[in-house]
Amino acid sequence: MKHLICLLVSLFACPALAESPATRPAPPPVTGIIGAMHVEVEMLEQQLGNRSTETIGGVSFVRGTLRGRKVVVAESGIGKVNAAMAAALLDERYHPSEVLFTGIAGGIADDERPGDIVIATRTAQHDFGLVTDDGFTPDLVADPKTGRKTPIFEEADPRLLALAQGAAEKLVLQEVHSGGVARKPAVRSGVVVSGDVFVASAKRKAELRRDFGADAVEMEGAAVAHVCRAMGVPCLVIRSISDSADAAADTDAAAFAKAAATNSAAIARAIVERIGAGDAAGGNAPGR
């Protein structure tokens, strides 16, 4: 009788029979994907299997499977604060193995056209720093724990960067029609800068190219990369050009946002597929 009672309550009262945390199977890895606007994440959300939605702090997180891998897609809202909040909530609630940021951007390099892809090798906040009579100097604050200055540039996770570059070589991106001509988008790796302003100025565009070596400008990516570094989560920012960050930026962004967002999301989806293939081959996916 004593043995029967112990068996019935073993999960609660018999430590020798209970499963210890060390022996419990680890939960399946999850990839987090963030975009600022609905147009940037809707294609990915629509392709999720077993889809469900959870809202935390006003941010919608859509969970499901993509190419056989568990994925959480978040629509953060525009701007660095919104993006940082979404990244922090994503990490705290879902513990992703890696985070991808996907969306549109203004092109800085002269040869960029709508639909082109910039895979960020590094990101920076172009509006965080010191303003004096001599002008603006990028200068981030010190880490409150270590006292060391936060780096101006956040470096991309090397493995995610390699996965993205490999995926881009084989991926057929959507052609973009401009001026009556259909053009196949180009893909480059380069510097993406972020700030809480929509850049529609040839003057500011030239400054970003000069001061940061920027290839694209947007409003969220560097903030997400900053949070992910602090949380110890591998991160990669992928952007597709919707405009040239000049006087016509507002009009061009509206015209090309859908095509550009589709191409950026296609890269993100291909990365997820390659991460999943790495899991199936024996755990080659990035870890925390």
Q: Which of 116, 215, 243, 252 is catalytic?
A: 243
Identify any residues that bridge with 54 across adjacent strands, giving them in sequence order.
61
Name the catalytic one among 19, 40, 42, 175.
40
At 205, list the tokens: 């565009």
CB atoms within 10 A of CB 258: 15
For residue 215, indicate whether it is catalytic: no
Separation of first and last alpha carbons in the chain: 47
Strand residues in 57-186 grouped as ranges (E) = 59-66, 69-75, 98-107, 117-125, 129-132, 135-138, 153-155, 176-178, 181-183
Using an 8 Å Cβ cutoff, are 194 and 118 in contact?
Answer: no
Q: Could you tell me how far CA 180 lies from the centroid of its own chain?
A: 32
Active site residue 98: no
* Residue 249: both structure tokens together: 């930026």
Residues annotated as catalytic (active site), given as ranges: 40, 243
